[in-house]
Chain A
Amino acid sequence: MFDFDATLPLVAIQFLLLVVVLNAVFFKPLSKVLSDRQDYVSSNNTEARERQDKAKRLAQDYSEKLSSSRRQSQTIITDAQTAAQKQSSAQVAEAQRKLQEQATSIQLELEQQKQAAFSALEKEVDTLSQQLLKKLLGPELAR
Chain B
Amino acid sequence: MHFGSLLLNSFELQHLLPSAKLEVGHHLYWQLGGLHLHGQVFITSWIVIGLLLIASFAATRNVQRIPSGIQNLMEYALEFVRDLTKNQIGEKEYRPWVPFVGTLFLFIFVANWSGALVPWKLLRLPEGELAAPTNDINTTVALALLVSLAYFYAGFKKKGLGYFAKYVQPTPVLLPIAILEDFTKPLSLSFRLFGNILADELVVGVLVLLVPLFVPLPVMLLGLFTSAIQALVFATLAAAYIHEALEGHGEEGEAH
Contacts and interface: CB of A to CB of B under 8 A. Distances in A.
A15 interface: yes
A46 interface: no
Looking at chain A's contact residues, the main secondary structure is: helix
Nearest to A2: B137
A30 B78 contact: yes
Interface stretch (B14-22, B102-110, B209-217, B229-237): B102-110
8 contacts: A1-B137, A6-B36, A7-B37, A7-B41, A8-B139, A19-B99, A33-B75, A36-B65
Nearest to B141: A8
Contacts of A7: 36-38, 41-42, 136, 138-139, 142
Interface of B: 1, 3, 24-25, 27, 32, 35-38, 41-42, 45, 49, 52-53, 56-57, 59-60, 63, 65, 67, 71, 74-75, 78-79, 82, 98-100, 102-103, 106-107, 133, 136-139, 141-143, 145-146, 198
Contacts of B102: 22, 27
Interface of A: 1-12, 14-16, 18-19, 21-23, 25-27, 29-31, 33-34, 36-37, 40
Contacts of A14: 42, 45, 49
B107 A15 contact: yes
Nearest to A36: B65
A40 B67 CA distance: 14
Nearest to B64: A33
Given A3-B137, A14-B45, A16-B146, 20 more contacts: A3-B27, A6-B37, A7-B42, A7-B139, A8-B142, A11-B41, A12-B146, A14-B49, A15-B142, A18-B107, A21-B53, A22-B52, A26-B56, A26-B78, A30-B59, A30-B63, A31-B98, A33-B60, A34-B79, A40-B65
A10 B39 CA distance: 11
A128 to B, nearest CB: 128
Contacts of B138: 4-5, 7-8, 11
Chain B contact residues: over half helix, strand or loop, or mixed?
A: helix
Contact of A30 (B24, B74, B198): B74
Given A1-B1, A26-B78, A30-B78, A15 B56 contact: no
Contacts of A19: 99-100, 103
A60 to B, nearest CB: 35
A33 B75 CA distance: 9
Q: 6 closest pairs, A vs B, by CB?
A: A6-B35, A26-B56, A7-B138, A12-B142, A23-B99, A1-B1
Contacts of A4: 137-138, 141
Given A2-B137, A3-B25, A29-B63, A15 B103 contact: yes
A19 B53 CA distance: 11
B38 A26 contact: no
A30 B41 contact: no
Given A7-B37, A22-B99, A30 B60 contact: yes
Contacts of B133: 11
A46 B83 CA distance: 25
Of A7, A8, A16, A30, the most chain B CB neighbours within 10 A belong to: A7
Contacts of B41: 7, 11
